[in-house]
Amino acid sequence: MLFNLQRYSTHDGPGIRTVVFLKGCSLACRWCQNPESRSRAREVLYDARLCLDGCQLCEQCVPHAIQRVNSRITIDRHAISERDLDRLETCCPTGALSVCGSALDLDEVMGTVLRDLPFYQRTGGGITLSGGEPFMQPEACAELLQRSHHHQIHTAVESCLHVPWHNIEPSLEFLDLLLADLKHVNANSFKQWTDGSAKRVMDNFRRLAAHGVNMTIRVPLIPDFNADEMSIRTITDFAADDLGAKEIHFLPYHTLGINKYRLLDMPYLAADKPLDNPELLDFAQQYARGKGLTALLRG
């Protein structure tokens, strides 16, 4: 399942890249800025700001699941079937209601990727698989990377590593760069904020390091979760001492994805303001550099 395909990206690996966003993630991070990527299934997004007063097209299309009440539509998402989603994909004239997710056609994706081959060659760019969690679709992930290597295209994957090892291993032969999130090393904090297992992630990191995979470790700095000196120390120590990592990126928390939760009718459970702590960001970089790592801030 695919939910976006972005050309001319410059933030997801070296050079100019095409980013393939695969749908589905095994974590439920409170701060996730792409909540539409969590579910493996297609979903309805609704933006009331774009909705036309008096329009009844979506209600007529799926009357058992959509109703207009006081100039606003209400959606019973659990009542929407796959057939309903097919109808809803083309019914809204303004895009107020849209369907997120589509079947993954590998030939179609590679056709788009290959269109920008000259840009990859000139800039050292390539393809990046993102998500969601790409390794939740291991066969598709491995095949896209293999096909890209066949065309001598640089490959990268953005991953939270919260998957079984056998989901990751088939892709390693065709992977040039892994951009991997190391959110926390404290099991209780990790579980509370992501509903996942820190042990699974850390075990995968150790295996990847043992395989000599080229990794950049990324640390999202989240208020009340890991945006403190103690957490930064323990995360960085694991990266440097246990993994022998060379490069670490610190990603200060932002709130650019909050509106997506409204589109999905989901609560947002993280801070409502971006991280504003220059001293902490400076500490993170200096501490990591003191451990021999190349440390960068990324937006």
* Report field, pTM of the whole predicted structure over 0.75: yes
**Contact present, 218 and 12 (Cβ < 8 Å):** no
Task: Give the per-residue SS3 of 170-220.
Answer: HHHHHCCEEEEECCCCCHHHHHHHHCCCHHHHHHHHHHHHHCCCCEEEEEE
Q: According to the model, what pLDDT value does residue 150 have?
A: 98
Name which of 133, 275, 283 is nearest 200 in CA terms. 133
Domains along the chain with CATH numbers: 2-38+103-297 (3.20.20.70), 43-100 (3.30.70)
Residue-level pLDDT, tens digit, the chain, 299 residues: 999 999 999 999 999 999 999 999 999 999 999 999 999 999 999 999 999 988 999 999 999 999 988 778 999 999 999 999 999 999 999 999 999 999 999 999 999 999 999 999 999 999 999 999 999 999 999 999 999 999 999 999 999 999 999 999 999 999 999 999 999 999 999 999 999 999 999 999 999 999 999 999 999 999 999 999 999 999 999 999 999 999 999 999 999 999 999 999 999 999 999 999 999 999 999 999 999 999 999 97
